Amino acid sequence: MEAFTTHTGRAVPLRRSNVDTDQIIPAHWLKKVTRDGFEDGLFEAWRKDPEFVLNQAQYKGATVLVAGPDFGTGSSREHAVWALQNYGFKAVISSRFADIFRGNSLKNGLLTVVLPQETVDRLQKLVEADPAAEVTVDLVSRQVRAEGVTADFELDENARWRLLEGLDDISLTLREETSIVAYEANRPSFKPRTIEV
C-alpha cells in the first residue's frame, strides 16, 4: 500500500446523501479480475448527465471528494475504493461513512476523513464558489485546511500509523504466528470443517 502523509489538491463537491457502492461502481464492472481500470465505471450512471459535477470542466483533475452523509453504503465491493483511486481521488471527506467502505478505503491508502456536517457544508460551498480552491488533507497533524476552514479530524492511532507507513496488514499479522498457532491448538473439536485435511 502506498503511504499517505499529506495531500493538497482541488476538490469536487458531491451534494448527495446515501451514495451507495452501486452508484460508485455498478455491478457489471465487478466482473473484472484486476484492481485497476475502474475509472470509467466511477459514478457511471450519473456521469451520463453532462451537468453532473464530475463532468464539469472546472473540476477536472480534482483529487479530493467532498461528499454528503452516509457515503459508501451497501455492498462490500472494494471495487468502489479502487474506482475512486483509479479516477485520481486521494481522499474523501464526509460526515459519515459506511463501515465496510471505510475499512476498505483505509486498507488501500484512500484517506476517508470524517468531519462534522457543517464543516463539510462549508467545504462544499467553498469549492462550489471557487473550483480552483485547494484543500489540504494532512494525516500527520490530522487536520483539513482550506481557505477559511481549519478542521481537526480523528482517526484511530493504529490505522493512522499503518497509513503513514504504508504498512501491509498481512505482513503485520504474520508476525503473530505463535499466537495464531496457540489459538488453533485450543479450538474445540466440534467446530465445523469444510474438508478433511
Hey, which residues between 83 and 102 contact other proteins (CB under 8 A)?
Answer: 96, 98-100
CB 112 within 8 A of CB 81: no
Strand, helix or coil at 70? Answer: coil
Q: In whole angstroms, give the CA distance from residue 135 to residue 113.
A: 12
Q: Considering only 52-60, 126-134, 137-145, 181-189, which stretch makes contact with other proteins by CB under 8 A? A: 181-189
Task: Pick between residue 10 and residue 29 the one whose CB is nearest to other proteins.
Answer: 29
Residue ranges in the chain assigned as alpha helix (H): 21-24, 44-47, 79-87, 99-108, 117-129, 157-165, 169-174, 177-185
Q: Are strands 134-138 and 6-14 parallel, antiparallel or unpaired?
A: antiparallel
185 near other proteins (CB under 8 A): no
Q: Are strands 134-138 and 143-146 parallel, antiparallel or unpaired?
A: antiparallel
CB 109 within 8 A of CB 3: yes
Q: Considering only 12-20, 50-58, 134-142, 143-151, which stretch makes contact with other proteins by CB under 8 A? A: 12-20
Task: Pick between residue 141 and residue 186 the one whose CB is nearest to other proteins.
Answer: 186
Task: Pick between residue 11 and residue 81 the one whose CB is nearest to other proteins.
Answer: 81
Which chain residues interact with other proteins by CB under 8 A?
Answer: 15-18, 20, 22-23, 26-28, 30-35, 45, 68-70, 73-79, 81, 96, 98-100, 103-104, 107-108, 156-158, 169-170, 172-174, 176, 179-180, 183-184, 187-197
